[in-house]
Every structure is written in C-alpha cells, then in structure tokens.
Structure 1
Amino acid sequence: MLIAGASGFIGSALVERLAAEGHEVVRLVRRRAQTSDETAWSPASGIIDSTVMDRVDAVVNLSGASFTRLPWTKTYRGEIVDSRVTATRTLADAMNKARHPPAVFLSASAAGYYGDRPGELLTEFCSPGSGFLAEAVGRWESAAMLAPDTTRTVVFRSGIVVGHGGPLQRVGTLTRLGLSGRLGTGGQHWPWIALDDEIGALVHLLGSKVSGPVNLAGPTPAIADRVMNAMAERMHRPYALAVPERMLEVALGRAADELLLSSQKVRPQRLIDDGFRFAHVTVESALDAMLSAPRARA
C-alpha cells in the first residue's frame, strides 16, 4: 500500500493502524529514500517512479498544505491549491502509466466542498458550494478523478478531525489559558470526526466497493458553541468570552469566514449506508478520547 502524506497528523495514525493489521506500507517522501519502505517523489515537479504503482494494490493520498496555517496570504492560498492538485495529478498520472494500476485510490478531500450552507443537511449528493475552499476542493477532487477507470477511486471529504495533534489542539491551547468562548454566533455547524473514526473509515473504504465522494464526519452534527463549550468543561476552564464575527474577519481575513464561521451540517450518508460503525457518535465522546490520549495528557 502506497501512502502520500504518511508523516502528517492523519497519515502517521493510518500507517500505525495498517502496520498493526499486518499491511505492508510504502511511504512517499520528498527526500532521498533511506529505507525499503520509502519511495522518493517530487509532487511539485510531477516526478515519481511510476513503477511503484505496479507493486502496490492501493494508494492513499493525504498530501497537501495545511488549511489551518494562518494567515491565508495570496501566496499561501495558491500553495493550498497547487500542493493538492499537483500531488494528486502526479499520483493519477503514475497510475495511468503503470502496467497494472492499483485497485484502489483513496484521495483526501474536505467538507469545505460544500461552502457555507446554514440550515441545509449536506450529503454526498448535494451540489458544491461557493468560496475559496469550495473551489479549491473541487479542483482537488477533479485531479483525483484522472486516475485510471480500472482503479476504484474514492474522494473522502473530511470534517474537523478531533485528535491529539489536529486542528482542535489550537483551540485546546486557548482553552487551557482561559481564553475560550463563542466565535461569532456560535450557531454555525462544524463537521467533526474523531481521529479513531477517520482512520477506521479509511481502512473500511480500502476494503469496500464504494467509489466517488464519501463524507467523513461524525453521525451527530454539532454547532461550534457545543464543541467549544464541551472542551472548556472537560478542561475545567471558563467559557466566557465572545468574539464578534467582524473581529474574527479583521484578524484572520478570509480564513475566518471559511474555517470558523462557515456552517456545514454534514451527514456521512454513504459511509452509514455501507455499514460503517462509528466508535464516537457524539463530539463529546471524540473530545474525551482526544483529551485522554497519552500524548494529550503529557
């Protein structure tokens, strides 16, 4: 199994799970390969040894610049798009050149595909939204669909992955300092999923027959106020501040609207229909798992 982005937050957890289950994992690295389980590539230049695709039965693409790195300057917005599109296209091109392309291609995507959609229940059958993230994710998914027709391709639209080392860790740092509170109205839906379920869903999809878009989000929607308040309660910290939307927009620019204030009530319909069972049904359960993890306690 070939994994791009294996050293990241989700990638490292996925490699650990696959190795524990006896799978042989090959990691793509952006330096000289040093071990037999590494293969060098340069996604920005479109360079990869396409023969590696003849040696693996599945490819998981987790490569791309972080959405949560701030600020979103014009240059960094370009990097967000280019890093995803070029990496995904490089993988798809290599699969097309292989004599025996991999049977499965799982390519990361994001709930940002839906844009800001307050009041809507968003399943995989909904149309794309508008805005920078929606357009970036649309291009990202289009690149994944360049994979060979014989390769079952899944684009998994992840929400906020709740786990140690993930985006909510920054929220945890502010909470620990007593600086937690309502962001905007607090009524915007944040699509969330526990790290355990993110990894479990990917393993499930590797052995499934599903193709196309799949939402990776917890089965019980939660608004931002519920997520933030639940974290403050578990860390025994106050939840008293209120940050107006305008202040967030001045401080963070477009990222505030698209990451913090956007509302996406995402339902993992295809995952549920395919028989996946969630370990963490509520965001409170996901936060408990994150905060009780050995590294989190340390």
Structure 2
Amino acid sequence: MRVLLAGASGMIGGELRAQLDAAGHETRRLVRREPSGPDEFAWDPTERTIDVALFDWADAVINLSGASLQRLPWTRATKRRILSSRLQATGTLADGMRAAAEPPSVFVSGSAVGYYGDRPGVELTDTATKGTGFLSDVVDAWEAAARLAPPATRVVFARTGVVIGNGGALKPLLPLAKAGLAGPLGTGRQHWPWVSLHDEAAALVHLLDSRLDGPVNIAGPTPATAGELVRALAEAVRRPYFVPVPRFAIELALQDAGRELLLADQLVVPQKLLDDGFTFRDATVQDAMDRLVEVRAA
C-alpha cells in the first residue's frame, strides 16, 4: 500500500516506518520543516495547509501527530497545546482527504486509552463508554475530528496505552529503576494498559488491511498493574523494587497529570484485535521489558 504518515519522527513512528518498509509498503512522511528527502513533504497543521495531491496518491493515512503528554506538569498552556495540536493535525488531514478526488481507503488516527478515565474494577473493551477527566475529553474531541474524514474512508481510532520502548512514558522511569529507586506508584495496584513498541507498530500495520473500524484498543493481551510494570522494569535492569511514591506526593507534584497518567486504573482489553486474528509478539509485560533492555544493550 501507499501510506502517508503524520507524526512519523517519534518513537512509535520510527518503528512503524521500519515495519512498513519490511512489509513492502511505500511511505511518504509529512514534516513541519524543509523536506530533506524525496519521501518527505511539508505541511503546517496550525495553518491547515497541506498538498491535497498527497491524498490522491495515498491508499492509507496514519496519524500519530500530537504534543507529548510527558511535558509535566500540565499547565493551562500545556493542556491547550495537548488538545490543539491533535485537533489541528487531525482536522488538516480530514480536510485533505475530503478535498481529494480519490480519498484514501483507510485513516488510522492516533487515540488513547485516556478516553476511558479512571475505572477501577471495570473491564474496558473497545466498546466501553467514555470516562471523565481532561484526557477523556481530549480523546473524545480528537476522535470527533477524525470522524470528519470522507464517508468512503474507513476510520480507525487506535486507542493506545503505555508503549514500552526506548522513550515515551518509560523515559522518566528507566533512570530511576537503574538507580535502584523504583517502587510502587500510589498503591501500585492500578491497572496500566501497556503494549510493546513492536506490537504497537505491528497493530497499526495490521489495521491497514483489516476491516476493523471505530475504536480499537492497542494494549497487551495480559493485563498488568502499575506495580507489576515498574517491578518488571526494575528486574529487567537487575535493580531492587521497593521505594514507594505515595499517592498524595504524586497528586501534589503533578496534579491532573499524576492522577490521569499514573494513578488511573484502566483494565483495557484488546478484544477487537484478538478477534481479528492479531498475534502479539510480547504477551506479558516482562517479555516487553526484557526485550527493551536487550535492544538498549545491543
């Protein structure tokens, strides 16, 4: 397939490009700077400018564009940027697809499990209802922007959790673990929906040829708590796991970001992917952590 990528320069985008290339797909990347190669094309989401001809060329569009959630704490300005960056990018892509003479057949738009909010004791399949909180509202608006793609285009919302890779959500945790300072965050019993970087990209590639549409949970097949995830990281780097960070300290330091990123309980189940025949390479959080440490050591 001919695939147009937005937000391809990040951790997920790099792995995704490698897997698309390995599968024989042709890719073009959207960049916000001067293009430096024949596969790069400039766009400006803040001004809603893009070359519509790209959408006549593309069979598929994958959107990973959006400001990082890891810029802490979430000030009012940061929250505005988190929302606006997603709406601007997604809106620009939807506009371009609608203007194309032959729009792409599929639009895989980045999304997040933050849609579900804090839901202790609830199994969250792909059809679970919206929760409450800042991230839930952001994801709701983000997905609404993606729905403005043309009717002929199949739209998928890739609701992703914590991606275990060399960066992203693990970036601040890894040095703590290496220093022997890893431990429970709050109680540590809250479920964290995780997925390995390899499986995240593989799921996105899978969705190009699938018939799935609407929300699709991208989370590992074996649920894990925050404590299990951080313990797996500590064990992977051969360090202890015993230094707790109490809930009040997380809320005091990070406020909404702490409550929604670290303390929210989300037992997310990738039911649609499993039913669609997708096979996860990394079935447990320990598998993903061990592989991450192997990659970093290589």
Moved over 6 A (4+): none
Q: How does 1:211-230 map to 2 (within 5 A)?
A: 211-230=213-232
Shift of 1:23: 1.5
Whether the 8 Å CA contact 1:163–1:289 is kept in 2: the answer is no
Q: Give 5+ residue unaligned stretches, structure 2.
A: none
SS of corresponding position for 1:2: strand
Question: Which of the residues 121, 131, 136 maps onto 2:133?
Answer: 131
Shift of 1:231: 1.3
State the alpha-carbon separation in 1 of the partners of residues 20 and 216 from structure 2.
20
| 1:114 match | 116
CA distance in 2, matches of 1:25, 1:148: 21
Match of 1:297 in 2: 297
- C-alpha deviation, 1:71, in angstroms: 1.5
The residue type equivalent to 2:21 in the other structure is A
For 1:5, the aligned partner's letter is G
Q: Is the 1:29–1:38 Cα contact (8 Å) retained in structure 2?
A: yes
Partner of residue 249, structure 2: 247
TM-score (norm 1): 0.97
* 1-structure distance, mates of 2:64, 2:233: 27
Q: Residue 181 of structure 1: SS of its match in structure 2?
A: coil
Matches within 5 A, 1:263-278: 263-278=265-280
- The Cα offsets for residues 51-76 of structure 1, whole Å up to 9 and x where unpaired, read as 11001111000000011121111000
Residue 55 (1) aligns with residue 51 (2): no
Shift of 1:166: 2.7
Check the 8 A contact 1:113/1:129 in 2, yes or no: yes
- The answer on 1:46 being equivalent to 2:42 is no
| Aligned: 1:24 with 2:14 | no
Query: In percent, how many aligned pairs have the same letter?
Result: 53
SS in 1 for 2:157: strand
Match of residue 170 from structure 1: 172
Does residue 262 of structure 1 match 2:232? Answer: no
Task: Please name the residue that 1:237 is paired with.
Answer: 239
Name the CA distance, whole Å, in 2 between partners of 1:159 and 1:150.
29
Question: How far does residue 32 in structure 1 lie from its aligned partner after superposition?
Answer: 2.1
For 2:12, the equivalent position in structure 1 comes to: 10
* TM-score (ref. length: structure 2): 0.97
Aligned residue in 1 for 2:146: 144
| Residue 147 of structure 1: how far off its partner (Å) | 0.3
* Amino acid corresponding to residue 294 of structure 2 in structure 1: S
Counterpart for residue 104 of structure 2: 102
Which letter maps to 1:110? A
CA deviation after TM superposition for structure 1 residue 169, in Å: 3.0
Find the residue that maps to 1:243 and give its secondary structure.
coil
What is the CA RMSD across the aligned residues, in angstroms? Answer: 0.9
For structure 1, the residue ranges without an aligned partner over 5 or more in a row are none
Range with bigger deviation, 57-66 or 228-237: 228-237
Shift in Å, 1:99: 0.2
> Aligned to 1:112, what secondary structure does the other structure show?
helix
Find the counterpart in structure 2 of residue 65 from structure 1: 67
Displacement, 1:20? Answer: 2.0
- Alignment: residue pair count: 296
- Greater Cα offset, 47-56 or 109-118: 47-56
Deviates more, 1:251-260 or 1:31-40: 31-40
Q: Contact (CA 8 Å) 2:70, 2:168: kept in 1 or not?
A: no
Which residue in 1 is equivalent to 2:281? 279
Aligned partner of 1:83: which letter? S
